């Protein structure tokens, strides 16, 4: 197969690969070979994966080539049959190391699959590997990985965003057709934006988190990172739905999300959130969002600016609530039950201390300290409880906005991808990259990032679409229509030259 053909295949969305498999134009094993070749070529440059499942993937592809599903009834093939999918390394995969990009879980091999993995298995998907990420999903640049940073495929001197920097950079480089990430404060959407791909954080509780290593349990959600909106809807169809193993999972009949992919936003009411168009938003990003607004208006939508005053406090609220929950969730890593243990300690107490001091990276330790402080008696009321009250205000502000508007839009990230190292010594600047994404997590509502274009220096810009709780229908309809109108179709092919 020539280089042209290879490039055509690895940059196809999963639904097109599915058509080619159904039409018997490509075998599953041919597709798998292209993707594992792409992984080999991009891995060295970008450090995308922590674990690559090449042998297992190619073997399984051969089995699928021969399977009755494929040979007998083509119309019955499931949407992700034989599709190469990357999984963020904080989602448990039975028998395959799940490190959370941390030294403390470096050798942790789960004995069970996360529910989302079981659901993908039922589709006969191909696991390409476990994607690199910020340690315990804490970060916005993927520079906090014990396994080294991920680089942005559009410019290797820039970060891919985080914490799902691996999954997003993988999709942008064609090193898998789809990926699953997790989003606690923007970790799916912000890297999707910085890498020029689609990333969806579903409504809190829509996708089971059984088997997702917990960061901040009232905020965490698993979601798809894909090449286009249609793939995001298809992947959500597979992973959404009630799960008795997750007490926060919503027990409702799930719609077919693909049905909402309509190119029509006539009479849609769109609010541009003033508080998310902050001064930190770069002029080019602002310009790009304004262009999308004009497109929406041309398509018959009503657009106006709205104010949600409580959003001004969202970042502060998040950086109290998320570390507080993290400090509690991460107390389980004590060297007794999971992963790394310091063996030089003489006493149990010393073992705990040395294991945690040596096993966690700096950012994780910072969060544990902030969280422990906010939850300690005497400070709980002043910080944690107050943050919870403001969180309620944020929820209520969104509720009243959605009485009037179908969707809200904003930039996904105030800037395009920044240079590696640029914000490493300044946590506050790093935290500011989440300013536009965090509010949706605090309110538990769905939000998607889609590519809105490229900056002058050739870096992707992302548009965020937010809707009310369980109104993924509005998210998909708007995202699908605007994706068509924007017509973004570039890939960082320079990687393979």
Cα–Cα distance measured from residue 476 to residue 240, given in angstroms and rounded to the nearest whole number: 15
- Find the binder of ligand GLN among 93, 140, 249, 412 (CB under 6 A): 140
- CA separation, residue 388 to residues 120, 308, 314, 378 (Å): 35, 17, 11, 16
Is 183 a binding residue for ligand GLN by CB under 6 A? The answer is: yes
SS3 for 463? Answer: strand
Q: Is the dihedral of CA 483, 484, 485, 487 positive or negative?
A: positive
Exposure string of 241-258, with b = 16+ CB inside 10 Å and e = fewer, is bebeebebbbeeeeeebe
Is 163 a binding residue for ligand GLN by CB under 6 A? The answer is: yes
Pick the piece of the chain touching ligand GLN (CB under 6 A) from 117-125, 132-140, 398-406, 408-416. Answer: 132-140
DSSP per-residue letters across 87-139: EETTB-BTTB---TT-GGGTT---SS--HHHHHHHTTT-EEEEEEP-SGGG--
Exposure string of 393-424, with b = 16+ CB inside 10 Å and e = fewer, is bbbebbeebbeebbbbbbbbbbbbbbebebbb
**Enclosing H/E stretch for 365:** helix 362-375
Are residues 106 and 340 in contact, defined by beta-carbon separation less than 8 angstroms?
yes
Is 90 a binding residue for ligand GLN by CB under 6 A? The answer is: no
Pick the piece of the chain touching ligand GLN (CB under 6 A) from 120-128, 136-144, 446-454, 489-497. Answer: 136-144
Judged by beta carbon, residue 7 or residue 137, the one nearer ligand GLN is: 137
Pick the piece of the chain touching ligand GLN (CB under 6 A) from 182-190, 203-211, 297-305, 353-361. Answer: 182-190
Is 137 a binding residue for ligand GLN by CB under 6 A? The answer is: yes
Catalytic residue among 27, 29, 42, 88: 88
Cα–Cα distance measured from residue 230 to residue 479, given in angstroms and rounded to the nearest whole number: 9
Catalytic residue among 29, 102, 145, 163: 163
Smallest distance from the beta carbon of 323 to ligand GLN, in angstroms?
8
Which residue, 67, 69, 80, 93, is CA-closest to 126? 80
Is 139 a binding residue for ligand GLN by CB under 6 A? The answer is: yes
Is 322 a binding residue for ligand GLN by CB under 6 A? The answer is: yes
Are residues 167 and 161 in contact, defined by beta-carbon separation less than 8 angstroms?
no
- Find the binder of ligand GLN among 29, 47, 184, 410 (CB under 6 A): 184
Smallest distance from the beta carbon of 316 to ligand GLN, in angstroms?
13
Are residues 88 and 145 in contact, defined by beta-carbon separation less than 8 angstroms?
no
Smallest distance from the beta carbon of 87 to ligand GLN, in angstroms?
15
Residues 419-458, one symbol each (x = binds ligand GLN by CB under 6 A, - = not), give ---------------x------------------------
Catalytic residue among 187, 249, 310, 324: 187
Catalytic residue list contains 163: yes
Residue carrying the six token digits 């990333």: 199
Which residue, 197, 200, 238, 129, is CA-closest to 437? 200
Judged by beta carbon, residue 140 or residue 310, the one nearer ligand GLN is: 140
Smallest distance from the beta carbon of 369 to ligand GLN, in angstroms?
15
Q: Count other C-beta atoms under 10 Å from residue 494's C-beta.
A: 11
Is 214 a binding residue for ligand GLN by CB under 6 A? The answer is: no
Is 186 a binding residue for ligand GLN by CB under 6 A? The answer is: yes
Smallest distance from the beta carbon of 396 to ligand GLN, in angstroms?
23
Judged by beta carbon, residue 124 or residue 163, the one nearer ligand GLN is: 163
Judged by beta carbon, residue 293 or residue 417, the one nearer ligand GLN is: 417
Sorted by sequence, the CB contacts under 8 Å of residue 118 that are 6+ apart come out as none
Judged by beta carbon, residue 215 or residue 418, the one nearer ligand GLN is: 215
Is 185 a binding residue for ligand GLN by CB under 6 A? The answer is: yes
Judged by beta carbon, residue 314 or residue 322, the one nearer ligand GLN is: 322
Helix extents (H) in 299-347: 314-329
CA 91 vs. chain centroid, Å, equals 12
Smallest distance from the beta carbon of 313 to ligand GLN, in angstroms?
16
DSSP per-residue letters across 431-452: HHTTTTTHHHHHHT--EEEEEE
Pick the piece of the chain touching ligand GLN (CB under 6 A) from 72-80, 185-193, 353-361, 449-457. Answer: 185-193
Judged by beta carbon, residue 57 or residue 165, the one nearer ligand GLN is: 165
Pick the piece of the chain touching ligand GLN (CB under 6 A) from 184-192, 227-235, 300-308, 455-463. Answer: 184-192
Residue 30: exposure state from Cβ atoms within 10 A (0-12, 13-18, ≥19): middle
Smallest distance from the beta carbon of 437 to ligand GLN, in angstroms?
7
Residues that bind ligand GLN (CB under 6 A): 137-140, 162-163, 183-187, 215, 322, 434
Which residues carry out catalysis?
Answer: 88, 163, 187
């Amino acid at each position: 197969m020539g280089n042209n053909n290879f490039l055509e295949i690895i940059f196809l969305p999963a639904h097109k690969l599915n058509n080619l498999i159904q039409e018997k134009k490509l075998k599953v094993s041919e597709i798998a070979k292209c993707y594992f070749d792409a992984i080999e070529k991009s891995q060295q440059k970008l450090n995308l994966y922590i674990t690559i499942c090449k042998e297992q993937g190619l073997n399984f592809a051969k089995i699928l080539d021969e399977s009755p599903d494929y040979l007998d009834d083509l119309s019955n093939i499931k949407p992700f049959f034989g599709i190469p999918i990357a999984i963020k390394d904080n989602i448990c995969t039975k028998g395959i190391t799940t490190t959370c990009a941390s030294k403390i879980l470096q050798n942790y091999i789960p004995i069970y699959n996360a529910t989302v993995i079981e659901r993908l298995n039922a589709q006969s998907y191909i696991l390409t590997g476990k994607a690199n990420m910020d340690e315990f999903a804490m970060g916005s640049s993927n520079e906090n990985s014990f396994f080294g940073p991920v680089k942005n495929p559009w410019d290797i001197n820039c970060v891919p965003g985080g914490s799902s920097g691996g999954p997003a950079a993988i999709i942008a480089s064609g090193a898998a057709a789809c990926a699953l990430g997790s989003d606690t404060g923007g970790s799916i959407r912000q890297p999707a934006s910085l890498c020029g791909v689609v990333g969806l954080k579903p409504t809190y509780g829509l996708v089971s988190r059984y088997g997702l290593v917990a960061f901040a349990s009232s905020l965490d959600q698993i979601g798809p990172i894909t090449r286009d909106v249609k793939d995001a809807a298809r992947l959500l169809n597979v992973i959404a739905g009630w799960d008795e193993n997750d007490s926060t999972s919503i027990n409702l009949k799930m719609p077919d999300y693909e049905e909402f992919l309509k190119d029509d936003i006539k009479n849609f009411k769109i609010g541009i959130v003033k508080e998310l168009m902050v001064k930190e938003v770069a002029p080019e990003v602002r310009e790009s969002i304004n262009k999308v607004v004009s497109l929406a208006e041309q398509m018959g939508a009503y657009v106006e600016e709205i104010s949600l005053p409580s959003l001004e406090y969202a970042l502060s609220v998040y950086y109290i609530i998320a570390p507080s929950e993290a400090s509690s969730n991460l107390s389980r890593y004590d060297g007794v039950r999971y992963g790394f243990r310091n063996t030089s300690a003489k006493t149990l107490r010393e073992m705990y201390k040395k294991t945690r001091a040596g096993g966690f990276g700096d950012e994780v330790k910072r969060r544990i300290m902030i969280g422990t402080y906010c939850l300690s008696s005497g400070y709980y009321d002043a910080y944690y409880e107050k943050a919870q009250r403001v969180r309620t205000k944020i929820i209520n502000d969104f509720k009243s906005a959605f009485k009037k508007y179908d969707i809200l839009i904003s930039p996904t990230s105030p800037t395009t991808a920044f240079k590696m190292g640029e914000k490493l010594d300044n946590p506050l600047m790093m935290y500011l990259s989440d300013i536009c994404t965090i509010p949706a997590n605090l309110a538990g509502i769905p939000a998607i990032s889609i590519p809105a274009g490229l900056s002058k220096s050739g870096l992707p810009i992302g548009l965020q679409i937010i809707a009310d709780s369980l109104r993924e229908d509005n998210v998909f309809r708007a995202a699908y229509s605007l994706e068509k109108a924007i017509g973004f179709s570039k890939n960082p092919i320079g990687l393979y030259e």
